[in-house]
Amino acid sequence: MTAIDKLIENTIRADVRAIASYHVPDASGYIKLDAMENPYELPDTLRAELGQRLADAALNRYPVPSYTTLKRRICAGLGVPSGYDVLLGNGSDELIAIMATAIARQDRKAVVMAPTPAFVMFARSAQFAGADFVGVPLNSNDFSLDLPAMLGAIARHQPALLFLAYPNNPTGNLFDEQAMEAIIKAMGETGIVVVDEAYQPFAKKSFMDRLPAFPNLVVMRTLSKLGLAGIRLGYLSGDPKLLEQFEKVRPPYNVNVLTQVAAEFALDHLDVLDGQAELLNQERTRLAAELAALPGVEVFPSAANFISLRVPDADKTCAELSTGKVLIKNLSKMDKMLANCIRVTVSTPEENTAFLNALKASL
């Protein structure tokens, strides 16, 4: 064993050493359909306007740490209830980490819970914060919430933090609202429920207006899926006293000046981004119908900007699509419930057609 190997063994946690880093494949030269990005760029006139605003940004100064103007714009334009504020993060990933850190305890293990399969960062952030993660399997036939199992797990494990993605990633479906409310009520004063609405621009459904009814409810969103994945901005809202506690964990200056300027610009042009989301919803309907007509393919309902489907051999399909320079997500190793499942981002008509042709050739 070398000196650096000994150093790592003596200093880095065993559970960190045992896992691989989060892998993002190189997409150079590919039709990139693996990351749920909006494929549409801004119109030229808006790009020029954004360029001028970015050129005027004070890069020599730290951001204003309170982000008052941007937060006020988000609250006014994105449906945050009156009297509620938002907390900003470097994407949803940082917000998840902030909450996991805030509930992690030094006297005993805290528990983070989510129905599974779920977004991988729920479990990873819990682990890195030193909390335990408990996954409760969805119903395997339709990926719906197994409410009795969820309520039983809440009673047994008493989680401090519970995530419900709405719609869910990687399955794409919306959970039953009454089941979600039952979970929020069951958590009560002992745990926080985070409804992750990353795909809200496509689902057009939200729990944001229910914040005043549930003090233990937090709603989290991101601008990434709306068309601004490159600026990495997430936001969450909840009871002001709860946000005050999360604020203590948030790193200072965690949102950079260029992100702030770009986000404020986007809020001036939400109609353009919403129009792009509507185009993608129309393509989602077409793509789902054409996929469902293919032999041996099972398509799952989606309210997001992606579609998950089961094919005869996911490894073979992904390999052949990759050879043809089409990049999708292989879900089959993520959870046994997702055996031979793949996930594809809904993109432009041209890229969706290219994917369909490549998929047909691989089946």
pLDDT of 251 strictly over 90:
yes
From the number of C-beta atoms within 10 Å of its C-beta (0-12, 13-18, 19+), residue 213 rates as exposed
pLDDT in tens, 1-21: 899 999 999 999 999 999 988
* pLDDT tier at 24, thresholds 50, 70, 90: confident
Q: Are 198 and 167 in contact (CB under 8 A)?
A: no
Q: What does the pLDDT read at residue 176?
A: 98
CATH architecture of 3-43+271-362: Alpha-Beta Complex (3.90)
Alpha carbon 22 to chain centroid, angstroms = 15
Q: What does the pLDDT read at residue 59?
A: 94
CA atoms of 120 and 170, how far apart (whole Å): 9
pLDDT in tens, 191-226: 999 999 999 999 999 999 999 999 999 999 999 998
The CATH number assigned to the domain with range 62-269 reads 3.40.640.10
Question: Which ranges in the chain are annotated with CATH 3.90.1150.10?
Answer: 3-43+271-362
Average pLDDT, the chain: 96
State mean pLDDT over 220-246: 95
Q: What does the pLDDT read at residue 72?
A: 96
Q: What does the pLDDT read at residue 276?
A: 96
* pLDDT tier at 179, thresholds 50, 70, 90: very high
pLDDT of 64 strictly over 90:
no
Backbone angles phi, psi at 194, to 5 degrees: -105, 115
* pLDDT tier at 67, thresholds 50, 70, 90: very high
Q: Which long-range contacts (CB under 8 A, 24 or more apart) does 315-320 make?
A: 316/362, 317/342, 317/359, 317/362, 317/363, 318/342, 320/358, 320/361, 320/362
Q: What does the pLDDT read at residue 194?
A: 98
CA atoms of 359 and 363, how far apart (whole Å): 6
Backbone angles phi, psi at 222, to 5 degrees: -140, 155
What is the dihedral sign for C-alpha 60, 66, 68, 74?
positive
Radius of gyration of the chain (CA): 21
Q: What does the pLDDT read at residue 23?
A: 79
Alpha carbon 241 to chain centroid, angstroms = 25
State mean pLDDT over 351-362: 96
Tell me, what amino acid is at 133? F
State mean pLDDT over 88-116: 96
Q: What does the pLDDT read at residue 8?
A: 94
* pLDDT tier at 22, thresholds 50, 70, 90: confident
Query: Comparing 63 with 65, which gets the higher pLDDT?
Result: 63
Question: Which ranges in the chain are annotated with CATH 3.40.640.10?
Answer: 62-269
Three-class SS of 336-350: HHHCCEEEEECCCHH
Residue 251 is classified by DSSP as P
Token pair of 104, please?
């992690």
pLDDT of 352 strictly over 90:
yes
pLDDT in tens, 108-167: 999 999 999 999 999 999 999 999 999 999 999 999 999 999 999 999 999 999 999 999
pLDDT of 323 strictly over 90:
yes
Q: What does the pLDDT read at residue 28?
A: 86
